Chain A
Amino acid sequence: MNSQDFQLFGEIVKSRSGLVLTEEKVYLLESRLVPLARRRGLESLEALADEVRRTQDERLLNEITEAMTTNETFFFRDTKPFDIFRDVVLPQLLKARAAKKSLRIWTAACSTGQEPYSIAMLLKEEAAKMAGWRVEILATDISTEVLEKAKAGLYSQFEVQRGLPIQLLMKHFQQVGEMWQIDSSIRAMVKFAPKNLLEDLGGMGQFDVVFCRNVLIYFDQPTKGKVLDQVHNILAEDGALFLGGAETVLGICDSFKPVDGQRGVYTSVKGGLMAAAS
């Protein structure tokens, strides 16, 4: 691929999603965009680039952007954050919101749904402590394709074996041919919607917990900072922000601080969630 075309695709993807395509990602660009070009009857990536220059077709630009997202995810990814959510964050919020009896949780780059469904299964296990509570789990992603899959809640045998304990498979899944489908009672706990993290996030209301995991790593520093500032604006002061294992707020956003002893969990500098009681 010539460097002008690479630059063209890189700019489209960066400006629309924040994802940074470095030179060593040329192979990724090729493996993902060639099939897309073929579907449009275009022979090569040069032809695709010409089509983009000629038409500036919104749909095409979005398709190119979506094709470049990395959607890898699994149930209870890294385990620990979900333990912290259940054992440290949830008990504190149940106390703090005891009068209101409502909780709002947002998973901000939910991919094919394993993350929000992990949270939903966890909450279902804790249901006894939460009788009469209104809990909302909002799950969003830039890619409409992954959201469709997430809504269906259908997973391959491989997907249900990465991170999902067998007891939870037995409890919450049905076998549908070769696939496994998560029960409608769990599906009903999660609301899926498209949302681009580069957009204005005001208007989403306030959240008590935000999972924004394994998406900031693909952004450059200024973009990470902007997203984190926005997240801070819509996260309750005593709320919790969960980032991925390779992500941090340090040196990027001063509004958050790490929660002592709880890796990957951050809270507002304005007060915030307490460090582990345990």
Chain B
Amino acid sequence: MPSCLIVDDSKVVRMVARRILEDLSFGILEAEDGKGALTTCQEKMPDVILLDWNMPVMNGIDFLRTLRSSENGDQPVVIFCTTENDMAHIREAISAGANEYIMKPFDRAIIEAKFSQVGVL
């Protein structure tokens, strides 16, 4: 079973994403900020990371940069999932090493479409 780490400071968002992704046969891990996500990744790299942008302690883009420069950090497929819905943020995310970008609000159709685009579905 492929694993997906959901990183979002909103419990509700994590729950909604978990439901959809469990349905799509992912094993789910959760973190509520970038720092927690790094700890999880150090233990074991997930296959996919669904990543919010604005979070306390460590935000999504800082997490992504740290991840990509760490050992095996190039492996996970990273999909941003954020309310930052403008081209400037999209460009910044992709150049920092994100594979895809979801603009909130999302639903099952969007998650499925994006996950299959990057080849993890």
Contact = CB atoms under 8 A, between A and B. Distances in A.
B94 A161 contact: no
A175 B103 contact: no
A128 interface: no
Query: Interface majority SS on A: helix, strand, loop or mixed?
Result: mixed
B103 A161 contact: yes
A165 B117 contact: yes
A194 interface: no
Contacts of B103: 157, 161
B113 A163 contact: yes
Indicate the member of A74, A166, A169, A170 with the most B CB atoms within 10 Å: A166
Contact of A167 (B94, B106, B109): B94
B85 A157 contact: yes
A166 B101 contact: yes
Interface in B88-121: 90-91, 94, 100-103, 106, 109-110, 113-114, 116-117
A125 to B, nearest CB: 16
Query: Interface majority SS on B: helix, strand, loop or mixed?
Result: helix
Interface in A170-207: 170, 174-175
Interface in A75-103: 79
A162 B112 CA distance: 9
B86 to A, nearest CB: 6
Contacts of B87: 170, 174-175
A158 B114 CA distance: 12
A174 B90 CA distance: 12
A74 B117 CA distance: 13
A158 B90 contact: no
B110 A158 contact: yes
Contacts of B102: 161
Contacts of B109: 162
A165 B91 CA distance: 13
14 contacts: A79-B117, A157-B103, A161-B102, A161-B110, A161-B113, A161-B114, A162-B110, A162-B113, A163-B117, A166-B90, A166-B94, A170-B87, A170-B90, A170-B94
Interface of B: 85-87, 90-91, 94, 100-103, 106, 109-110, 113-114, 116-117
Given A79-B117, A157-B85, 11 more contacts: A158-B110, A161-B103, A161-B114, A163-B113, A165-B117, A166-B100, A169-B90, A170-B87, A170-B91, A174-B87, A175-B87
